[in-house]
């Protein structure tokens, strides 16, 4: 093999790492970290002692964001907190299974966060093990993703009294690209193990819809389940694409500075591809998807937000509740200043 060919193969192999290195030299660092991440002088310039605490916090929150990749984050589970106020505790993660939920439960207790009372799963995996691949991945992050994690979670949540919505008992299945595309129906029988068939047998007999079938209503079904409950965790398999689209939709519903356009786009290079980010909602999506970024997902959700009449209804009903400030946070700010 010639030296040039070896160099070329090395570049191809390490291109994602090269792209990540380039992104660290991008405008994301040059502008965002220097100007937006809070520092005392910059933060205090927005705090006015004559104003009520609520007004000061509102002013500060227009400039500083707690991304779910940072807020009480647990990277091994891709866990983060989207909303944590008097009205909602909204969490996101990857597939959990028993071991993942045990780790999450400990994490929530340590951070004084409540357990979710509702869990929503939006993919087709997790109803049976993928035997050969599952064992190969025993010592990787993919191990749990290839297990029968839905069955494990269903058993856990039943004992804990947590409501569990998944594609066999609710119309919540989403495609991993454009969530508003209608896909061909998948064969649900091929997705289930004998154990899952036995556990979900009563459920399967009562099915009045097509499981693992995506239609435009499904995306709004998931959003409504989240917004109609107080303490919710939603996840797909990897906690990246489907979970990312739902998270972004919630940020669009929140509005305000989440969707204000930056003075100029932040340029990043996920997987070596040049991508421009125009607002905080897009930045948050990127932070969870820095290697497998799908710009078509962002475009699909933003297009639906503009065109679908159901989004304005959600905004009118839930925006204020999503953006309200937690009472404990107010007390801490008052004590601090």
pLDDT value of residue 205: 73
pLDDT value of residue 33: 40
User: Is 236:175 a contact under the CB 8 Å cutoff?
Assistant: no
Residue 59 resides in a domain: no
Model pTM greater than 0.85?
Answer: no
Average of per-residue pLDDT across 199-222: 79
Residue 19 resides in a domain: no
Q: Phi and psi for 229 in degrees, rounded to 5?
A: -125, 160
Of the pLDDT bands very low, low, confident and very high (cuts 50, 70, 90), residue 45 is very low
Average of per-residue pLDDT across 227-256: 94
Sign of CA dihedral 102, 103, 107, 113: negative
Residue 215 resides in a domain: yes
Q: Is the pLDDT of residue 241 over 80?
A: yes
Q: Which of 307, 317, 315 is nearest to 251 (CA)?
A: 315
* pLDDT per residue as tens digits for the range 81-111: 999 988 999 999 999 999 899 999 999 999 9
Residue 14 resides in a domain: no
Q: Which of 289, 316, 327 is nearest to 92 (CA)?
A: 289
Residue 44 resides in a domain: no
Comparison of pLDDT for 286 and 247, the residue scoring more: 247
As for how many domains the chain has, the answer is 1
Q: Is the pLDDT of residue 179 over 60?
A: yes
Residue 8 resides in a domain: no
Considering 56-65, 128-137, 257-266, 300-309, the range whose residues carry the highest mean pLDDT is 300-309
pLDDT value of residue 332: 47
pLDDT value of residue 23: 43
User: Is 223:249 a contact under the CB 8 Å cutoff?
Assistant: yes
Query: What average pLDDT does the structure give for the chain?
Result: 76
Of the pLDDT bands very low, low, confident and very high (cuts 50, 70, 90), residue 214 is confident
Q: How far apart are CA 337 and CA 335, in angstroms?
A: 6
Sign of CA dihedral 248, 249, 252, 253: negative
Of the pLDDT bands very low, low, confident and very high (cuts 50, 70, 90), residue 213 is confident
Q: Give residue 322's domain range.
A: 64-336
CATH number at residue 276: 3.90.190.10
Q: Is the pLDDT of residue 237 over 80?
A: yes
Q: Is the pLDDT of residue 275 over 90?
A: no
* pLDDT per residue as tens digits for the range 186-207: 667 677 777 777 788 777 777 7
Comparison of pLDDT for 297 and 57, the residue scoring more: 297
Residue 232 resides in a domain: yes
Comparison of pLDDT for 146 and 239, the residue scoring more: 239
pLDDT value of residue 27: 41
Average of per-residue pLDDT across 53-82: 70
Of the pLDDT bands very low, low, confident and very high (cuts 50, 70, 90), residue 70 is confident
Residues in a beta bridge with 90:
83, 232
Least reliable range by pLDDT among 15-29, 114-128, 150-164, 166-180 = 15-29
pLDDT value of residue 11: 55
């Amino acid at each position: 093999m010639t030296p040039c060919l070896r160099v070329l193969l090395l570049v191809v192999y390490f291109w994602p790492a090269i792209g990540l290195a380039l992104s660290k030299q991008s405008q994301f660092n040059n502008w965002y970290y220097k100007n937006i991440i809070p520092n005392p002088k910059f933060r205090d310039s927005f705090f006015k002692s004559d104003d009520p605490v609520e007004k000061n916090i509102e002013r500060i929150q227009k400039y500083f964001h707690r991304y779910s990749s940072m807020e009480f984050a647990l990277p091994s589970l891709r866990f983060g907190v989207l909303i944590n106020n008097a009205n909602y505790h909204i969490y996101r993660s990857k597939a959990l299974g028993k071991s993942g939920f045990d780790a999450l439960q400990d994490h929530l207790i340590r951070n004084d966060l409540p357990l979710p009372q509702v869990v929503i799963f939006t993919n087709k995996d997790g109803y049976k093990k993928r035997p050969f691949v599952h064992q190969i991945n025993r010592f990787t992050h993919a191990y749990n993703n290839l297990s029968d994690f839905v069955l494990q979670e269903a058993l856990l949540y039943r004992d804990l009294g947590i409501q569990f919505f998944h594609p066999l008992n609710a119309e919540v299945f989403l495609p991993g690209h454009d969530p508003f595309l209608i896909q061909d129906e998948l064969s649900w029988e091929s997705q289930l193990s004998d154990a899952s068939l036995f556990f979900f047998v009563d459920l399967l007999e009562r099915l009045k819809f097509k499981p693992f079938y995506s239609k435009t209503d499904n995306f709004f079904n998931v959003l409504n389940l989240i917004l109609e409950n107080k303490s919710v965790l939603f996840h797909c398999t990897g906690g990246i694409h489907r979970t990312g689209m739902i998270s972004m939709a919630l940020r669009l519903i929140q509005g305000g500075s989440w969707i204000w356009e930056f003075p100029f786009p932040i340029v990043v290079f996920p997987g070596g591809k040049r991508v421009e980010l125009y607002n905080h909602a897009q930045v948050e999506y990127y932070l969870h998807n820095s290697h497998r970024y799908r710009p078509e997902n962002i475009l699909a959700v933003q297009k639906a937000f503009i065109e679908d009449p159901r989004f304005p209804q959600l905004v009118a009903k839930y925006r204020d509740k999503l953006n309200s400030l937690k009472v404990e946070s107010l007390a801490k700010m008052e004590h601090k200043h």
